[in-house]
Each structure stands twice: as structure tokens, then as C-alpha cells.
Amino acid sequence: MANILDYIQWRGDLAFSADPFNEVDNLILARLSYIDFDDLDSRGEELDSISRRYIHSETRMNPGLMLNEGTKPLLETAGDSSRFGSLFVRAFINKIDFDNQLQFSAVVFELDRKTAYIAFRGTDDTLVGWKEDFNMSFMDVVPAQLEAASYLNDVVSKYGYRKIYVGGHSKGGNLAVYASVHLKKRLKRCIETVYNNDGPGFGSNLLETAEYQEISGRITTLIPKSSVVGLLLEHEEQYRVVESSQKGIMQHDGLSWEVKGKDFVYLPELKDDARIFDKTTKSVLKKLSLEQRAAFSTVLFDLLSVNDSKTLTELNNGGLSNFFKMSENYSKLDREMKKLIFDTLSLFFGESFKSFLDVSGLNQWQNKMKLWREETRDEIESFFRKL
């Protein structure tokens, strides 16, 4: 099936003035935000020029384990097209802070002098980025969200945009929503649409605010049919379900999302495996205290950070050596920490089974069988009493 690469080949000759910005365009730019633009001209640069310079760079085109190798052809195809090649790229920022557990990156794609798509990068290959994701389960605000709010206010004020699209993929979608909620009131009228592409939601503390309600009608949330990341935490807004050519967690990569014409291929509902995961995670989080969530997250990433591994790629490349080191570190944990890990994993698998029974309808079948057995027993007892 067709994907965003095919879309550019089909419609790349159409300027945004001829065919307005749409949801597929949003995902393309959100995906391009994973590229390392660190040597971008301070005044900005057109995408076609960037593409020609970057296309032979392996480090800039390597997004790590969780995203496939489609970044290079995506940049090349977009850069060669009339639709995307003339986009002006500016204001790139990338911050990694291991001590403060921060991973943040953003960039601006200008459609014209007064219109821009502000893209927030999602979780990259760094372990600190994944740790920050876990922190969202027990912290009201994480450092990347504060950075995103500051960045959006700065660029919209500095460049005087009159219309903005704000978006991101994975954690970047969450940051796009958070930043838009906290955009200064006088600037919020510039927001056309906020795109959350398979990114996690929020706690009720944000969803119930007047600031969130002010922009909630402008939020578009897109998730693949077996979404995992996009169902984490709470979403008040309605989401649209997209067909994907991949299975399971690999559907998180937007290059697997199927496109038809100038739109995604949409489905009426999520697959059962996504609904099971959604029910499971919400149930587990309800049963774990904030302190338990924090402790589990800390010990998990302490175990993963072996042999000075800073990224998933480094962890994976360590092979058996890293596995044995993690096993050794686990054996050194005190009894309380081992119990926390065991209890949390047991809770997750237990709730998964309950969710499976519920979603699959087996719970209803079991309840009907139980009722039938009780009714049959009563009838038999009544029969023998009459003898």
C-alpha cells in the first residue's frame, strides 16, 4: 500500500497555494524533525538545499532502533519536490540533559512568510528520552514540556506568524499540544491546527484547564490501528484511526501509515490488541501509586544504563555483554526493589489477561455460563425438593 513517500511523488508538484496543507503534510514534516539540523544557517535555509547537503550523511540519517531507515529517501524526495523543497527551515534546537532527564528538539518549517508548521521531535534513540517518557506517568510536567512552551512562544513572537500548524510525532505530539495550551493568549488565535501523531496524552490536571479547553477543538489526534504510545495517559479529544502496513509497536513509525490520494486510509475503530493494551495500562496506572511508578521507572533505567550506554542503539550493540551486565546488576538489587519489579510486571500481565477477556467478549461468555450453572443448579434442587 502507498505511504507518505508515494504521496510526495503523486502530489509533490502542487504548491501549498494550489492545494492547502493537510494531515499527510503534517506527518511528513513531523517525521523530518528527527533529522539533525545542527549546522543549519542561522538565518534559515530551504529544504532542497539542506537535502543536497545532508543526503550523503549517515549520522544525520540514522534515527536509531525505533524508526526505520526511510528518513533518507523521505528527505531526498521531499527536497526534490515543488511542494516541500521550497520550505524555509529555521530555528532548530536540540537539547539533551542527562542530569535533568531532558530530551528536546524542535524546528520551524515556513510555508510562506506568515505561515509555518512548528515541529516537535518525538522520543529519539537516547535512553534519557525514554526515561522522560516514563516520567510522564508520575510527573505533572516534564522538562521537555516546559522547553516546548517556551520555544513556541519565542518563535511565534519573533517571526510574527499569522497562521501556525503545530505538530509532532510520538512525544513530539504531546509537546505540540502542551506548548499550544501554554501559548500566550494573544498568540493563540494564530493556531490553525495542533497535530498529535500517535503521541501520549495527559493527566486530568491539564485536560480540565480553561487553557486546554480553549484549543481542544483545534487538536487533531492520529493513531495507527494497533497504537501503543498514542493510547498512553488520557486523551479528551477524539482520535482518528489510521491503517498501517506494519504490526504491533512497529506501527508507531509513520512511514507505515497508509495513504490514499491526499488523505490517510482511515478505519472505523482500533484493533482489539490496541484496546486490550489501553485497558491494561489504564488499570495498571490506577493501581500503582505515584511513588511506585517513579521507583519502577528509576530502577528500570538504572538497569538499562549498562556499560555507559546512552542510546538504545548502544544498548543493542552491546549484545550478550550488556545482557549479562544487566542480569548482574539485577542480582545486586535489594529485596524490596526486586519485589517492586516482580509485582509491577505481574500486575501488568494479570491486567492484560483481564483486559483480553473483557475485549474479546469471553468475560460475557463466562458470566453467562456462571448464570446458567446457577439457574440449572436451582432448577435441579427445586426438582429434588419436590420428590
pLDDT in tens, 138-160: 888 999 999 999 999 999 999 99
Please give the single-letter amino acid code of residue 99: D
Q: Which helix (H) or strand (E) holds 323?
A: helix 319-331
- Return the sign of the alpha-carbon dihedral for residues 50, 52, 53, 56: positive
> 173: which residues sit within 8 A by CB, 6+ positions away?
30, 120, 122, 167, 195, 196, 197, 198, 199, 200, 221, 230
Instruction: Give the C-alpha separation, 103 to 114, whole Å.
Output: 29
Say whether both 252 and 333 belong to one domain: no
Per DSSP, the three-state class of 126 is strand
Of 339 and 193, the structure prediction assigns the larger pLDDT to: 193
Of the pLDDT bands very low, low, confident and very high (cuts 50, 70, 90), residue 95 is very high
Q: Say whether pLDDT at 372 is over 60.
A: no
Query: What pTM was estimated for this model as a whole?
Result: 0.87
pLDDT of residue 9: 95
Of 62-71, 91-100, 117-126, 371-380, the poorest mean pLDDT is in 371-380
Query: Taking residues 52-76, what's their average pLDDT?
Result: 75
For residue 376, the model assigns a pLDDT of: 46
Name the packing angle between helices 335-360 and 362-386 (round to 10°): 70
Q: Is 143 within a domain?
A: yes
Per DSSP bridges, beta strands 266-267 and 263-264 are: unpaired
Instruction: Say what the alpha-carbon torsion angle 99, 64, 66, 70 is, to the nearest 10 degrees.
Output: 140
In a domain, 220, yes or no: yes
pLDDT: which is higher, 297 or 170: 170
| Residues 69 and 95 grouped into a single domain | yes
Quick: pLDDT tens for 182-215: 999 999 999 999 999 999 888 778 888 999 999 9
The last residue of one of the domains, among 239, 269, 299, is 269
C-alpha closest to that of 215 among 166, 168, 180: 180
- The verdict on 145 and 40 lying in the same domain is yes
Same domain for 354 and 233: no
> What local confidence, expressed as pLDDT, does residue 370 receive?
56
Reported as a pLDDT band with limits 50, 70 and 90, residue 63 is low
Kindly report the CATH number assigned to the domain that includes residue 171. 3.40.50
pLDDT at residue 20 tops 80: yes
Are 248 and 302 members of one domain?
A: no
Percent pLDDT > 70 in the chain is 90
Within-domain flag for 64: yes
Co-location of 232 and 293 in the same domain: no
Here the cell at position 148 is 516546548
pLDDT at 299 over 70: yes
**Which of 49-58, 82-91, 217-226 has the lowest average pLDDT?**
49-58
Residue 382 and residue 246 in one domain? no
Residue 274: inside a domain, yes or no?
no
| Position 362 pLDDT exceeds 60 | no
Q: Where are the beta strands (DSSP E) in the chain?
A: 45-46, 88-97, 102-112, 115-120, 163-169, 191-197, 219-224, 239-242, 259-260, 263-264, 266-267
What pLDDT score was predicted for residue 314?
Answer: 75
Q: Within a 10 A sphere around the Cβ of 372, how many other Cβ atoms?
A: 10
Same domain, 209 and 308: no
Q: How confident is the model over 331-336, as a mean pLDDT?
A: 86
Q: Which residue has the cell 555483554?
A: 321
CB 199 within 8 A of CB 122: yes
Q: Total domain count for the chain?
A: 2
Please report how many Cα atoms fall inside a 13 Å half-sphere around the Cα of residue 55, on the Cβ side: 14
Check residue 341 and report its DSSP letter. Answer: H
Average pLDDT for residues 265-277, to the nearest whole number? 88
Specify the pLDDT at position 241.
94
pLDDT for residue 229: 81
Residues 74 and 107 placed together within one structural domain of the fold: yes
Per the prediction, the chain carries an average pLDDT of 86
Query: Which residues, other chains included, contact 154 with Cβ-Cβ below 8 Å and sequence gap of 6+?
Result: none
Note whether residue 207 is domain-resident: yes
Pair (186, 80) in one structural domain: yes
Residues 295 and 362 both lie in one domain: yes
Residue 15: is its pLDDT beyond 50? yes
pLDDT in tens, 217-267: 999 999 999 888 877 777 777 899 999 998 888 888 899 999 999 999 999
Domain residues for the domain of 14 are 4-269
Domain boundary residue among 235, 269, 303? 269
* CA 243/CA 181 separation, integer angstroms: 29
- Given 238, 269, 300, the domain boundary residue is 269
Q: What is the pLDDT of residue 363?
A: 53
Q: Which residues contact 31 (CB under 8 A, 6 or more apart)?
A: 4, 71, 74, 169, 254, 255
- pLDDT bucket at 384, cuts 50 / 70 / 90: very low
Q: Are residues 152 and 295 in the same domain?
A: no
* Strand-pair category, 115-120 with 102-112: antiparallel
C-alpha cell at 267: 478505519
Residue 153 within a domain: yes
